[in-house]
Amino acid sequence: MKRNNISGGLQKSSLGADYADYTECMDNIVGVCNNSCGEVLKQSFPDNPHRPNVPCNLRNPHLKSVCIIFCLLLCTFPLYAQDPIPSCPLADRVTTDSDTIYTYSQRTDTVTVPQIVLPATFKQPGLNELTDSIGILKPFWERLRLLRAGYSTDTVRIVHIGDSHVRGHIFPRTAGSLLTEAFGAVSYTDMGINGAFCFTFTKPDRISDIAALHPDLVILSFGTNESHNRRYNAIVHYRQMDELVRMLRDSLPDALLLMTTPPGSYESFRKSRRQRTYSVNPRTAIAVQTIRRFADDNGLALWDMYGAAGGSRQACLNWQQAGLMRPDHIHYLPEGYVLQGELFYQALIKAYNDYVEY
């Protein structure tokens, strides 16, 4: 025993401070285990009068070793008060053992909205956006999204009908070419007639020509010629739009409809035999209000070009002062129609991005 004490003393002196730290750590662990065992006894026998009132004695070297290993294991594995929250599924993956529900962390199929620099003479332009209060165009946006993402190869077909602004081709084809560049397989067909009113297309043969193209979207651009009639009647105009929309829906029940307002125009007065004077056509604003009201009443989408260009106060002045109107003050120069097509495309892309980001 004396030899053992001597060897133990030599070992303690050689370890120095490290041995003291080790001994203190082991005593702390034993103390924790004693207290833990006491708590276990209290919880296991809360009403037992014969329950021991003292902690467990861990001076037995084997029991002490087991307790130390147990405490180390508790420090190694994290403990939870409840089941851990499962990690989120990866984007675009289908969760197993459930219905087919796709989850997206972030939509990446938006299109860059073009920045359009309006002429410096443009004053007080309005918001350039589509109005679609009930989301009637959602199926159309979804077809474009699938096309752009490569999930579909079906051509998206658009038919644009209207008056001479459409018949000139530049306005609709500017928008159509930009859509094709952004999405790929987009067919954009314009069918304009010089001097057309909306009721011009309420003939069965013209409805059949439109239906033969199997459009996903039909765009209606009228209002200029209606408002140039000095006996313009908003009630008659409303009924004519209703007749055209009814015929289109009967022949194309799956096609979606989008209306646009006219850009604005002047009316002329003969000042003398050789001279004419021009003033803003006041009936354009009334026709625009009628088109807005009709679209709202019938759940149709609307692009208000008249409002985007400045509305009743500035639209005609903006176009004219920018030098984008022809001498007749009704039709536009090619640069004017290009700008209208770019504005239309911008409004379409804004609405598309709103859909895919929702």
pLDDT one digit per residue (tens) for the chain, 358 residues: 444 444 444 444 444 444 455 455 555 554 555 555 455 445 544 555 554 554 445 455 655 565 666 656 655 555 554 555 554 444 444 443 434 444 443 456 899 999 999 999 999 999 999 999 899 999 999 999 999 999 999 999 999 999 999 999 999 999 999 999 999 999 999 999 999 999 999 999 999 999 999 999 999 999 999 999 999 999 999 999 999 999 999 999 999 999 999 999 999 887 777 788 899 999 999 999 999 999 999 999 999 999 999 999 999 999 999 999 999 999 999 999 999 999 999 999 999 999 998 7
Expressed as residue numbers, the domain containing 69 is 2-76
* Residue 118 counted as domain residue: no
In a domain, 348, yes or no: yes
Residue 264 and residue 135 share a domain: yes
Token pair of 31 as six digits: 């103390």
**pLDDT value for 45:** 47
Point out the domain boundary residue: 14, 47, 76: 76
Quick check: is 274 in a domain? yes
Does residue 351 sit within a domain? yes
Q: Is residue 335 part of a domain?
A: yes
Looking at the structure, tell me whether residues 141 and 54 fall in a common domain.
Answer: no
CB atoms within 10 A of CB 4: 8
Same domain, 158 and 23: no
Residues 200 and 63 occupy one common structural domain? no
How far apart CA 168 and CA 178 sit, in angstroms, is: 17
Q: Are 40 and 154 part of one and the same domain?
A: no
The DSSP line for 301-338 is: EEE-HHHHTTHHHHHHHHHHHTT-B-TTSSSB-HHHHH
CB atoms within 10 A of CB 268: 13
The Cα–Cα gap between 82 and 295 comes to 55
Q: Are strands 156-162 and 186-192 parallel, antiparallel or unpaired?
A: parallel
Residues 137 and 71 in one domain: no
The reply to whether 206 falls in a domain is: yes
Cβ(220)–Cβ(298) below 8 Å: no
Look at residue 268 in the predicted model and tell me its pLDDT: 87
Domain shared by 68 and 146, yes or no: no
Tokens of 330: 């009704």
Answer whether residue 272 is part of any domain.
Answer: yes
Residue 121 lies in a domain: no
Rounded Cα–Cα distance for residues 158 and 255 (Å):
9
- 3-state class of 58 per DSSP? coil
> Which amino acid, one-letter code, is at 88?
C
Shared domain check, 167 and 255:
yes
For residues 281 and 265, give the distance between their C-alpha atoms in angstroms, rounded to a whole number.
6
For residue 350, what is the domain's CATH number? Answer: 3.40.50.1110
Shared domain for 161 and 290, answered yes or no, is yes
Looking at the 3D structure of the chain, how many domains does it have? 2
| Domain identity same for 59 and 175 | no
The answer, as to whether pTM is greater than 0.85, is: no
